[in-house]
């Protein structure tokens, strides 16, 4: 028996997972516990959780895999430092991170109180993009597949293409720093006035409000150029960061950051950058639409070339750019691939899982297990624990009651039909950036005011950002133009025209929806709730958005209750308990 502890450390979305042989026992991101979005240090709290779930101590771990390789492309890194005369301070900061990676076993042992206690685990460094590739291919249903990993940057690489067959992954080619689709998209994200790490999804959500403009796209294509070898390169005159060693980093709170800084050349081409609080205009929306369109062209180009070179019909896509669900929904239509798989944690948080899988399958030559749903791997709480927690809080003025399983589904579905906004907390927390029905805020999708209500009074976020439909898998063809298995909410598809007015709360301005198909075997209670709501309303769909308010998705009953109390949700479901602002049945 082999226990493998996978870690993503000192990188955005730090995380940990634990495997027993090839079986995933637990995985979570550090941000869920520390409550700092995209936390980027050593994930000690996530490690503690994983060990508790496995029922073992650190001394019983056989291998610690780290989704970083300090020596990957080292000659290129050294050449870059010498060529660009990177500042001594920046070099010291990066050296400290490398040092932290190299001493990770000792640091984890110290954090867990193992001072002086032997820790037998050996440490294996798995290059960043190989970890990404493994996190997708090894959990996919494919025996053989092409693999495309695209993100900002990791181990001096932004893009890697390859193939997977059985328990092996082969790398075909890669793109090195500073050329990056992620950098390109982030640059425009910040140019449009969204400065925070991870804000790229806002550009994706804004883009349907604009119209792709040919003149804009011509200039954008000068920034990111498609190459005949199937890859791309950036015109570095647009990117004012190549010589800077301090343009990205981790602040004192553990948050990763990228400093907004635009070259004079970019400003001469695209005008003045939008200030954070400046009103969004049609020109901003058109720029977002044009950037999204060119990004799609680059991804389609790389994917189609990969298909031609491999002859394979299955594609696994991963990396931060793979969180662009609009692109994902168009890949099959715009390439020669027949099937696409996107994992639930394609972002950097998923590399902890990928590093463990790469080591176990590829390096140790262990056979793959059958395809298993791997979205629900985080913390869970019993009814007894929730009961004790609720009794410890002063909830005078609220109504608290425990229900049986059948009663709960009936009461909550009735409340949804009556127009209530429900905080839904049950089972194990999801691993990855999407709430998939275990840590969700749910609403009747036919409510015309739901978007405004959720954006202004619950989520407190920009009005242009869409909400996702969770639909019974068997009803997909009735509501969507394309039928597909999309359990992880990773693809955007057009909603049938005749259904859009029926579900306005989950229909984006361009008539699309970020689909989540729900099966009973994967999410039994959530499935039963949607089915009960569908029977009463005639619509087998619920609006599903993450259970949070400009914070990491809630992880514990305390997080959920605090979010409920400071927003205008109507009822809170904690396993079999309901906390309500008004009497229920």
496: left (phi over 0), alpha (psi -120 to 50) or beta: beta
Q: What tokens were used for 259?
A: 């400093």
Calpha distance 523→308 (Å, rounded):
37
Query: Tokens 């990205």 label which residue?
Result: 248
Its CATH architecture, for the domain 3-130, is 2-Layer Sandwich (3.30)
Calpha distance 18→360 (Å, rounded):
12
Given this chain, do its domains 3-130 and 140-342 carry the same CATH topology? yes
Q: HSE-up of 534 (CA within 13 Å, CB side)? A: 18
Calpha distance 163→237 (Å, rounded):
34
Kindly state which CATH superfamily the domain 383-580 is placed in.
Answer: Carbamoyltransferase, C-terminal domain (3.90.870.20)
Q: Find, among 569, 536, 563, the residue nearest to 446 by Cα.
A: 536
Kindly state which CATH superfamily the domain 140-342 is placed in.
Answer: ATPase, nucleotide binding domain (3.30.420.40)
Query: Tokens 């308990």 label which residue?
Result: 577
Print pLDDT tens along the chain (585 aa): 999 999 999 999 999 999 999 899 999 999 999 999 999 999 999 999 999 999 999 999 999 999 999 888 877 777 766 666 554 444 344 444 445 577 899 999 999 988 767 789 999 999 999 999 999 999 999 999 999 999 999 999 999 999 999 999 999 999 999 999 999 999 999 999 999 999 999 999 999 999 999 999 999 999 999 999 999 999 999 987 665 556 788 898 899 988 888 899 999 999 999 999 999 999 999 999 999 999 999 999 999 999 999 999 999 999 999 899 999 999 999 999 999 999 999 999 999 999 999 999 999 999 998 766 679 999 999 999 999 999 999 999 999 999 999 999 999 999 999 999 999 999 999 999 999 999 999 999 999 999 888 987 888 888 899 999 999 999 999 999 999 999 999 999 999 999 999 999 999 999 999 999 999 999 999 999 999 999 999 999 999 999 999 899 999 999 999 999 999 999 999 999 999 999 987
Q: Find, among 461, 429, 459, 254, the residue nearest to 344 by Cα.
A: 429
What is the model's pTM?
0.95
Domain ranges in the chain are 3-130, 140-342, 383-580
């Amino acid at each position: 028996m082999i226990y493998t502890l996978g870690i993503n450390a000192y990188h955005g979305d730090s995380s940990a997972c634990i495997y027993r042989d090839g079986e995933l026992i637990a995985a979570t991101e550090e941000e869920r516990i520390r409550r700092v979005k995209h936390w980027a240090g050593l994930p000690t709290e996530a490690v503690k959780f994983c060990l508790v779930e496995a029922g073992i101590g650190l001394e019983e771990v056989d291998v610690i895999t780290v989704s970083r390789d300090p020596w990957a492309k080292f000659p290129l890194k050294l050449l870059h430092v010498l060529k660009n005369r990177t500042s001594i301070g920046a070099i010291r900061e990066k050296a400290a991170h490398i040092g932290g990676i190299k001493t990770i076993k000792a640091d984890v042992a110290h954090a867990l109180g193992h001072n002086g206690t032997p820790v037998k685990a050996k440490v294996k460094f798995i290059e960043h993009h190989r970890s990404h590739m493994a996190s997708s291919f090894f959990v996919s249903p494919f025996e053989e597949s092409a693999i495309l990993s695209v993100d900002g940057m990791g181990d001096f690489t932004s893009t890697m293409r390859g193939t997977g067959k059985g328990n092996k992954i082969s790398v075909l080619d890669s793109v090195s720093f500073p050329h990056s689709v992620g950098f390109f998209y982030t640059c425009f994200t910040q140019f449009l006035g969204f400065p925070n790490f991870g804000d790229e999804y806002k550009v994706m959500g804004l883009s349907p409000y604009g119209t792709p403009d040919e003149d804009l796209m011509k200039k954008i294509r000068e920034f990111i150029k498609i190459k005949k070898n199937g890859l791309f390169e950036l015109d570095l005159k647009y990117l004012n960061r190549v010589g800077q060693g301090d343009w990205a980093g981790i602040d004192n709170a553990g948050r990763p950051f990228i400093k907004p800084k635009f070259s004079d050349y970019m400003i001469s081409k695209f005008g003045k950058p939008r200030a954070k609080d400046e009103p969004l205009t049609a020109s901003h929306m058109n720029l977002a639409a044009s950037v999204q369109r060119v990004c799609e062209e680059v991804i389609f180009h790389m994917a189609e070339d990969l298909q031609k070179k491999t002859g394979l019909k299955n594609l696994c896509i991963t990396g931060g750019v793979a969180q662009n669900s609009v692109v994902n929904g168009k890949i099959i239509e715009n390439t020669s691939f027949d099937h696409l798989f996107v994992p639930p944690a394609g972002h950097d948080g998923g590399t902890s899982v990928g590093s463990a899988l790469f080591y176990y399958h590829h390096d140790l030559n262990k056979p793959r297990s059958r395809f298993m749903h791997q979205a629900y791997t985080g913390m869970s709480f019993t009814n007894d624990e929730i009961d004790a927690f609720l009794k410890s809080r002063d909830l005078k003025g609220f109504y608290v009651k425990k229900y049986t399983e059948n009663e709960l589904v009936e009461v909550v579905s009735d409340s949804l039909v009556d127009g209530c906004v429900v905080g839904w907390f049950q089972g194990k927390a999801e691993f990855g950036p999407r709430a998939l029905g275990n840590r969700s805020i749910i609403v009747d999708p036919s409510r015309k005011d739901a978007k405004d209500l959720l954006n202004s009074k619950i989520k407190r976020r920009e009005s242009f950002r869409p909400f996702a439909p969770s639909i019974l898998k068997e009803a997909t063809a009735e509501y969507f133009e394309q039928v597909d298995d999309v359990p992880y909410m990773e693809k955007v598809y057009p909603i049938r025209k005749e259904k859009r007015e029926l579900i306005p709360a989950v229909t984006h301005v361009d008539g699309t929806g970020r689909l989540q198909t729900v099966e009973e075997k994967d999410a039994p209670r959530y499935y039963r709730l949607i089915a009960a709501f569908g029977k009463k309303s005639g619509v087998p769909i619920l609006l599903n958005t993450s259970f949070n308010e400009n914070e990491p998705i809630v992880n514990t009953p305390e997080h959920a209750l605090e979010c409920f109390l400071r927003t205008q949700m109507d009822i809170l479901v904690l396993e079999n308990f309901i906390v309500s602002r008004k009497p229920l049945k």
